[in-house]
Amino acid sequence: MSFFDSLFAKKPESVLGIDIGSSSLKVVQLRKQGGKAILETYGELALGPYGGAEVGQATNLSSEQITETLKDLLREAKVTAKGCGVSIPFARSLLSLVTLPYRKDKAEQKTIIELEARKYIPVPMSEVQLDWFIIPETEPSEKEKDTVDVLLVAVHNDELTLLQNVVSGAGLAASFYEIEIFSTIRAVVDEPLRPVMVLDIGAASTKIYVVERGVVALSHSVAVGSQDITRAIAVSSGVSLTRAEAVKKEAGIEGEEAQGHPELVFSRIFSEARRVLTQYETSHNKSVTSIMLTGGGGVTKSLGAYAKKTFSIDVRLADPFAKTEAPAFMRPVLEEIGPEFAVAVGLALRKLEEI
């Protein structure tokens, strides 16, 4: 490409966010127009059938199987964008909030963080990619500070290699890979100062985060997820997992076929969330202002109402598509499926910032 070709080349208008979950793939394509994010297309495809499992069940597929699924999804959703951002599963990453010595000199501070990080990463540093963020002070003091809070982020090289193989195999080009919680925060957390809890109910597990000033202040994972809700409905009603998955979304907690069994699963999740909430509020002497429900389990019918009865603070269902422009007639559908697409929307929003 000559100098003039690159100078006048038209930048791609459409971008793609790809969320590779344990039970499904989600994509969201946006374009920027007049400073707004325009929703062009979106889609979801279950991974289970590609690995001999039922819809809604967590899988552990090879990069070739995931690539095949992604190609099918791109075709069915009529995706045209090639540039993308891709999610990294929380389970395949490590987040650790640590307190380290403070240095005014940025180069010296960087050296201290990277040396101290070795104490908190349970594998050789050569096997991971390390990143870190200094947590901003909530109440700046005139006193000389001795320590600084740092969020350490590490991702195993094997996971990045798998994702890179999937992206290249599908004929796409990724400019970044991002741990899913950061994508979710971008898409659904608008509170700039006060703590917010994000309850991300995935297929195999539930991730619980407390987000303060846009930064993860506390993270916790529970080995119970939306597939356990599906299985509870299937066992109690004597139906297939595929039918139970549909019941979960169509009738939810209050459906006759569910017979109250989803409540038993959600009570375990919510009980753990209350424990984490109390732990944070006690140790930080601050109140969490609201809870945001997201993830595949977040689309369970009537879950929002049930959660509001359980917690004493404001509970909301995530609506990431609210940050995009779409036809009015699509809004009811987008609000209903929103919790599932928080990560994909967050990735696409970040990708748009590159244009």
The CATH class of the 3-92+158-232+247-352 domain is alpha beta
Number of other CB atoms surrounding residue 118 within 10 Å? 10
**Which tokens in the block code for residue 220?**
């916790």
pLDDT for residue 264: 76
The alpha carbon dihedral of 121, 125, 128, 130 has a sign of: positive
Average pLDDT of the residues in 324-353: 95
Q: What pLDDT band is residue 143 in, cutting at 50, 70 and 90? A: low
All residues at 6 or more sequence positions from 12 whose CB lies less than 8 Å from its CB, including other chains: 81, 82, 83, 355
Cβ atoms of 67 and 80 closer than 8 Å: no
Poorest-pLDDT segment among 94-98, 156-160, 250-254, 265-269:
250-254
Task: Tell me how far CA of residue 150 lies from CA of 14, 134, 136, 154, 295, in angstroms.
Answer: 35, 5, 9, 13, 27
Q: Classify residue 260 by its DSSP letter.
A: T
Average pLDDT of the residues in 198-226: 89
Cβ atoms of 151 and 215 closer than 8 Å: yes
d(CA 163, CA 68): 13
pLDDT at 212 over 50: yes
pLDDT for residue 267: 85
All residues at 6 or more sequence positions from 341 whose CB lies less than 8 Å from its CB, including other chains: 19, 26, 28, 42, 44, 320, 321
Do strands 196-201 and 290-294 pair parallel, antiparallel, or not at all (unpaired)? parallel
Poorest-pLDDT segment among 38-47, 80-89, 142-151:
142-151
pLDDT for residue 180: 94
pLDDT for residue 303: 78
pLDDT for residue 259: 57
pLDDT for residue 192: 84
Q: What is the mean pLDDT of the chain?
A: 88
What is the pTM assigned to this prediction?
0.89
Which residues make up the CATH 3.30.420.40 domain(s) of the chain?
A: 3-92+158-232+247-352
Task: Name which residue leads in pLDDT, 305 or 21.
Answer: 21
pLDDT tens digit sequence for 74-92: 999 999 999 999 999 988 8
Considering only CA atoms, which of 121, 112, 179, 122 is closest in space to residue 148? 112
pLDDT at 1 over 50: no
Which residues make up the CATH 3.30.1490.300 domain(s) of the chain?
A: 93-156
pLDDT tens digit sequence for 308-327: 888 889 999 999 999 999 99
Poorest-pLDDT segment among 28-37, 129-138, 210-219:
129-138
pLDDT tens digit sequence for 60-73: 899 999 999 999 99
Which CATH code, of 3.50.50.60, 3.30.1490.300, 3.30.2090.10, 3.30.1490.20, is assigned to 93-156?
A: 3.30.1490.300
Q: Tokens 């549909």: give the residue.
A: 246
